[in-house]
Chain A
């Protein structure tokens, strides 16, 4: 068990380009969460999955954002037509149903839109 892995660690993209991030949760964790964090702020909830089902999406997640978790394993978060306001740290966390809801976070993907 190597914890929650996120790839890439850093991404610099030009405005208008599409980007995709990947998260590999702890293997026995069936819940997966995406959060976004901007400088000086706490993480803000974006969406979460139980197994392959996406159960809730925040209003922060505009139509340009889409997340998937095929087969209930890894997850991807795609941002289409990136804007400068999308620049942030994108954090993934996983947990296990029936446990104590304690999270394990990944190290995050830092997105910079130029």
Chain B
């Protein structure tokens, strides 16, 4: 039981490049989330999903897209990376029975030059 995993752990991009971050959970959770964490700021929600095939915008969605084609996977895409997207990205999931408690992946550290 791996919980929530994220790929890759670390990535360096040049401005304008694109990439996809992968999140996978093996807890059969309905809800999945993508956050970014920047120094001195709280976690900020980028996008979230309340079930397979559904996605919704969070607090800071601009410059990101997501997909939830399978219940266990939640992908975060950066179409054209910008230095402002340098951050640590966390994926989280939660179940219907305990909707509120979120379980986090180990994070992806992204540096955009």
Are A and B associated in one complex?
no
